[in-house]
């Protein structure tokens, strides 16, 4: 049962990453209006989180390896949800 639930985890991450990517493309002022240090940190987090989420299904299909270990770590998935939370807070707080 646990194995079946984990099969959908890459799909959820991929859909969230795609949604965030479209949202940032649609409203770039979420990131553009920030100060340089914060913007640089947010862009770095976004690149890692979205890149790992998009690459995770490919890495899982190839099996065990260095890239699979990097994309399957809990902090990699936490980075995606943290990036999403930061964008939502940024939108809500102005």
Res 55 pLDDT > 80: yes
Q: What is the DSSP letter of 78?
A: H
Alpha helices in the chain (DSSP H): 2-7, 9-26, 29-32, 36-62, 66-71, 74-93
pLDDT (mean) for 16-32? 89
* Residue of 24 and 76 predicted with greater confidence: 24
User: What is the pTM assigned to this prediction?
Assistant: 0.76
| Average per-residue pLDDT for the chain | 82
Q: What's the structural domain count of the chain?
A: 1
Please give the span between the terminal C-alpha atoms of the chain, in angstroms, as a whole number: 42
Instruction: Give the model's pLDDT for residue 7.
Output: 59
Q: What would the two tokens of residue 92 be? A: 């809500």
User: Can you give the residue range of the structural domain that contains 6?
Assistant: 2-93
pLDDT at position 14: 83
pLDDT at 71: 74
């Amino acid at each position: 049962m646990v194995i079946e639930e984990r099969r959908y985890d890459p799909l959820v991450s991929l859909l969230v990453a795609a949604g965030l990517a479209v949202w940032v493309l649609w409203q770039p002022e979420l990131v553009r209006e920030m100060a340089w240090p914060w913007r640089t940190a947010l862009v770095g987090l976004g690149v890692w989180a979205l890149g790992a989420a998009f690459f995770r299904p490919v890495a899982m299909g190839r099996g065990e390896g260095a890239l699979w270990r990097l994309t399957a770590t809990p902090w990699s998935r936490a980075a995606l949800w943290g990036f999403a939370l930061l964008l939502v807070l940024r939108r809500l707080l102005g």
